[in-house]
Amino acid sequence: MRCLLIGGGGFLGSHLAQHLLASGSIVRIYGRKPTAIARQWPGDSHVEWVEGDFLDHHRLATAIDGCDAVVHLVSTTLPRSSNENPRYDVESNLTGTLRLLELIRRFPVKRFIFASSGGTIYGDPRSVPILESHPTDPKCSYGIVKLAIEKYLQLEHQLHGLDYRVLRLANPYGERQGNKSQHGAVATFLASALNGQEITIWGDGSVVRDYFHAADAATAFGQALSYQGEHRIFNIGSGTGVSLNEILSIIEAQTGSELRIVYKDRRVFDVPINVLDTSLARDQLKWTPRISLQEGIARKMRWLKTQSG
């Protein structure tokens, strides 16, 4: 199978590329250019690179041609910043994806996988853990656009027979992830702890999220690529809620140093709890996460130390 990863040169894409290469797939990556992350992959010489921007219609067509499956990992915005410019979010992500779907009609692509956001599309939960059937009421443009893309995929299936699957991801973390605040709590907190820097918490640290390792995310995508059942949307996460304060405690124990923590007023778009029910993925995709939070943080810490060395 030749699989195209749109945005595959980034954090999640690198783990997925590594997983697919190990399983014998041919991996083609579409992105702006081979990144420093990509140079760290084992067997990266087997990756086909097509350079181009997500909104470059002609280059994207070149990348799709000859591929059996397409995985859409691109997002030009982040949850915390998307409300600042919703029009850009719609124009780049939603309109960009609609153009991508137009292109896919021209080629015999057998499977399309979309990385959606289980952390934002549900909004304030009415029940926990959150099932795929839970009402969707996102509080940021990022989540609204992700949900809109899901709806257009359903329409594309009805009108043109697109065989798609959606993975609603919780909060992935792991090696090769950026360490700035927008890249997630685990990455940011751990990097700050190792560098002796202050850690900023928005709120009192009681916010609960569902964290899972990127290697487990990669296996979920791999299972979705081969899945032949009728279900199309899957929650992907650990299924376990962990507060920010609990993450800080794990990091403090593993680094052996006292953390410098600053608490600030909570942000309006932060829901108090988000934990996904992943039983459908377990039953249908035969997928369960295997890396515990403690082990994942230890892996991330070892990787960070190699980067600073």
pLDDT in tens, 51-100: 999 999 999 999 999 999 999 999 999 998 899 999 999 999 999 999 99
Domains of the chain: 2-173+212-238+277-289 (3.40.50.720), 181-208+240-275+294-308 (3.90.25.10)
Hey, which residues are catalytic here? 142
The pLDDT of residue 279 is above 90: yes
Instruction: Tell the burial category of 288 from Cβ atoms under 10 Å away from its Cβ (0-12, 13-18, 19+).
Output: middle
In terms of C-beta distances under 8 Å and separation of at least 24 residues, what long-range contacts does 227-231 make, across chains too?
Answer: 227/165, 227/284, 227/285, 229/284, 231/280, 231/284
Is there a contact between 8 and 31 (Cβ–Cβ < 8 Å)?
yes
Query: pLDDT value at position 257?
Result: 87
Task: Say if strands 2-6 and 198-202 run parallel, antiparallel, or are unpaired.
Answer: unpaired
Query: pLDDT value at position 264?
Result: 94
Q: Which of 71, 100, 93 is nearest to 145 (CA)?
A: 93
Query: pLDDT value at position 211?
Result: 98
Calculate mean pLDDT across residues 101-110: 95
Residue 10 pLDDT level (bands cut at 50, 70, 90): confident
The pLDDT of residue 271 is above 60: yes
Longest dimension (CA), the chain: 57
Distance between CA atoms of residues 233 and 300, nearest Å: 29
Query: pLDDT value at position 34?
Result: 63
Calculate mean pLDDT across residues 250-255: 95
Q: 148 or 268: whose pLDDT is higher? A: 148
Q: Which of 64, 53, 62 is nearest to 5 (CA)?
A: 64
Least confidently predicted of 48-52, 109-113, 156-160: 48-52
Query: pLDDT value at position 309?
Result: 55
Average pLDDT along the chain: 93
Distance between CA atoms of residues 277 and 294, nearest Å: 21
Q: How many residues are given for the chain?
A: 309
In terms of C-beta distances under 8 Å and separation of at least 24 residues, what long-range contacts does 46-50 make, across chains too?
Answer: 46/21, 47/17, 47/21
Is there a contact between 32 and 59 (Cβ–Cβ < 8 Å)?
no
Is there a contact between 25 and 49 (Cβ–Cβ < 8 Å)?
no
Residue 125 pLDDT level (bands cut at 50, 70, 90): very high
Is there a contact between 158 and 276 (Cβ–Cβ < 8 Å)?
no
pLDDT, tens only, 229-244: 999 999 999 999 999 9
